[in-house]
């Protein structure tokens, strides 16, 4: 009789253990995975080579690149076309990139640690296509020091700052046909050196074009000429709802 009771107790324990195991598998409980923060969205990884390819003039407008390092590190040298949102501020500044919730967002930092943390924050807040790219300490990117901003931030800059030179680098013919942002001067991207007298080094030079490609080229050119107060809009008049006047 005692033997039968012992077997009954043992079978009960086994049954309970089995039920708990099945229940855990059914509710999705599993070991934590540093690359997956929920059931539907996985944080992807990207090599430096792939980021450079994605950042080409033909591909860059398909993604948003975010440098999550400090403003000081960003200013010291960042990947072209990357905006800066410090990892410690990203949760409070999600509205600045909310329009990219269903579009690719690529994050990077020095080593991938801070950008990994930022990636988890984005995924937790509903971003569907998030990639953590190789850091600037691990891959030899060609870095720039001018500032890259989105169209809305560019508009805010020129609205709030009177001590700037606003520059449209599109061809003269297009500017005459379509107009420019109010207060802008036209310095076509292929004749910058002919207009240097209009671009004082002691003022902020704010550049824009159609898609941010030519203005980025001009920003690099000015940087090489010793300008250190240059802002480039990565979204041009074909991508952001700027108001043009003739």
Domain spans in the chain, listed from the N-terminal domain onward: 44-133, 147-245
Q: How confident is the model at residue 161 (pLDDT cuts 50, 70, 90)?
A: confident
The CATH number assigned to the domain with range 147-245 reads 3.40.250.10
Within 10 angstroms of residue 48's Cβ, the number of other Cβ atoms is 17
Q: Do domains 44-133 and 147-245 have the same CATH topology?
A: yes
Tokens at 164, concatenated: 């700037």
Residues taking part in catalysis: 109
Query: What's the confidence (pLDDT) of residue 38?
Result: 55
3-state secondary structure of 6: helix
Residues 140-147: what's their mean pLDDT?
A: 98
The CATH number assigned to the domain with range 44-133 reads 3.40.250.10
Q: How confident is the model at residue 41 (pLDDT cuts 50, 70, 90)?
A: confident
Which of 143, 142, 144, 146 lies closest to 201, judged by CA? Answer: 146
Chain segment 50-94, per-residue pLDDT in tens: 999 999 999 999 999 999 999 999 999 999 999 999 999 999 999
Q: How confident is the model at residue 40 (pLDDT cuts 50, 70, 90)?
A: confident
Which of 54, 135, 130 lies closest to 97, judged by CA? Answer: 130
Q: At residue 96, does pLDDT exceed 90?
A: yes
Query: What's the confidence (pLDDT) of residue 162?
Result: 79
Residues 220-229: what's their mean pLDDT?
A: 97
**18 or 216: which carries more pLDDT confidence?**
216
**β strands within the chain, DSSP E:** 44-46, 64-67, 82-84, 105-108, 130-133, 147-149, 164-168, 180-181, 185-186, 204-208, 230-233, 244-245
Tokens at 231, concatenated: 């802002």
Average pLDDT, the chain: 88
In this prediction the pTM is 0.83
């Amino acid at each position: 009789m005692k033997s039968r009771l012992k077997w009954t107790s043992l079978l009960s324990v086994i049954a309970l253990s089995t039920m708990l195991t099945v229940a855990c598998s059914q509710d999705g409980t599993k070991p934590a995975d540093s690359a997956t923060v929920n059931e539907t969205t996985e944080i992807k990884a990207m090599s430096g080579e792939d980021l450079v390819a994605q950042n080409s003039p033909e591909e860059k407008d398909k993604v948003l690149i975010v440098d999550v390092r400090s403003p000081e590190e960003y200013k010291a040298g960042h990947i072209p076309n990357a905006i800066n949102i410090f990892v410690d501020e990203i949760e409070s500044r999600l509205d600045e990139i909310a329009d990219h919730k269903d579009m690719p967002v690529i994050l990077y930092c020095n080593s991938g640690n801070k950008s990994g943390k930022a990636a988890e924050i984005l995924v937790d807040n509903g971003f569907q296509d998030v990639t953590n790219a190789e850091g600037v300490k691990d891959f030899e990117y060609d870095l720039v020091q001018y500032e890259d901003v989105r169209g809305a931030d560019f508009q805010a800059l020129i609205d709030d700052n009177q001590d700037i030179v606003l520059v449209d680098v599109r061809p003269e013919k297009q500017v005459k046909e379509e107009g420019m942002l109010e207060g802008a001067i036209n310095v076509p991207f292929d004749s910058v050196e002919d207009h240097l007298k209009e671009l004082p080094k002691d003022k902020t030079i704010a550049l824009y074009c159609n898609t941010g490609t030519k203005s980025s080229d001009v920003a690099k050119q000015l940087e090489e000429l010793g300008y250190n107060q240059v802002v480039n809009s990565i979204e041009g008049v074909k991508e952001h709802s700027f108001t043009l006047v003739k």
